[in-house]
Amino acid sequence: MSSTHLSGTFTLGTHTVKRLGYGAMQLAGPGVFGPPKDPETAIAVLREVVANGVNHIDTSDFYGPHYTNQIIRQALHPYADDLVIVTKIGARRDEQGAWLPAFSPAELTQAVHDNLRNLGLDVLDVVNLRCMFDAHGPAEGSLEEPLSVLAELQQQGLVRHIGLSNVTSAQVAQGQKICEIVCVQNNYNLVHRDDDALIDELAGKGIAYVPFFPLGGFTPLQSTTLSDVAQQVGASPMQVALAWLLQRSPNILLIPGTSSLAHLKENLAAAQLKLPGEAIAKLNAI
């Protein structure tokens, strides 16, 4: 069976994308800071991503900062017509690499222009507003001012579609009163399921849900149940974790990241893995 058949597609803005995409965060240096340790491999990974039919790449100009977008441009520009590059604004890095909020109108506007320049684009397909009211996860706070800035940039023709990242259900509802929201990007995976209700709510509205850290992020997923299921279905634990997400809800788009060609191959193969009902039941019980 083809990967497209099993993982399917979903609408992201005005594009139809394959549900298994690619996250470019790990192409930057250690701690997502500084240049890639191996620029040639980073370019090879990006070209292999596109060669395998992936048409959704997630990035941000604060990865590096700047390096990740610059290497995407170097590897893939001019871009294929069906390639959707999604970026994020709302944060910045200091000289030591610490993550800081960048929510003022000037900072948000600058970030859009930085993304355009470093990616070599005239318009950004999708821009996620990354909310940093709390360093540890979504926290309530008004999005009216920053989202209005982004909506204005959309009206100027610099941004096609707008998404939200690190947000609550109430913030999504507030955002929808300001502009159309095409996706939500929050932390979600097999062992971090705070967003179960939000995923279902968004699915009902036809809005994409994009889990960041689908494999656990800086602390990779570990579970005896996950390892057991992986052994039973003849796949790696990470492939099972990705397949579980694809089967969790049709509006979930995956963006697993890697700087390794071998890991990329493993991740892409997860699109062909169909977990049986008993395996899903075991994983749901984690």
pLDDT recorded at residue 133: 87
Tokens of 5: 């058949």
Asked whether residue 6 carries a pLDDT value surpassing 60, the answer given is: no
pLDDT-derived band of residue 149, with 50, 70 and 90 as boundaries? very high
For the chain, the average pLDDT equals: 95
pLDDT, one tens digit per residue, over 71-109 is: 999 999 999 999 999 999 999 999 999 999 999 999 999
Tokens of 220: 């990779």
Catalytic annotation present for 67: no
pLDDT, one tens digit per residue, over 261-280 is: 999 999 999 999 999 999 99
Asked whether residue 203 carries a pLDDT value surpassing 80, the answer given is: yes
Find the catalytic residue in 63, 67, 188, 209.
Answer: 63
Residue % of the chain over a pLDDT of 90? 94
Length of the chain measured in residues: 286
pLDDT-derived band of residue 134, with 50, 70 and 90 as boundaries? confident
The dihedrals phi and psi of 38, each to the nearest 5 degrees, come to -140, 85
pLDDT recorded at residue 1: 28
pLDDT-derived band of residue 205, with 50, 70 and 90 as boundaries? very high
pLDDT, one tens digit per residue, over 208-239 is: 999 999 999 888 899 999 999 999 999 999 99
Q: Is the peptide bond before 250 cis (omega within 30 degrees of 0)?
A: no
Give the three-state DSSP class for 133: coil
- Asked if 166 and 136 count as a contact pair (C-beta separation under 8 A), the reply is no
pLDDT recorded at residue 5: 42
Tokens of 105: 């109108």
Q: What is the pTM of this model?
A: 0.96
- Strand positions, DSSP E, the chain: 9-12, 15-18, 22-23, 56-58, 84-89, 91-93, 99-101, 124-130, 159-165, 181-187, 208-212
pLDDT recorded at residue 286: 94
E strand or H helix at 46: helix 39-51
Give the three-state DSSP class for 87: strand
Look-up: residue for tokens 């929808």?
176
- Asked if 206 and 251 count as a contact pair (C-beta separation under 8 A), the reply is yes
State how far Cα 241 lies from the chain centre.
16
- Bridge partners for 20 per DSSP: 254
Largest CA distance in the chain: 53
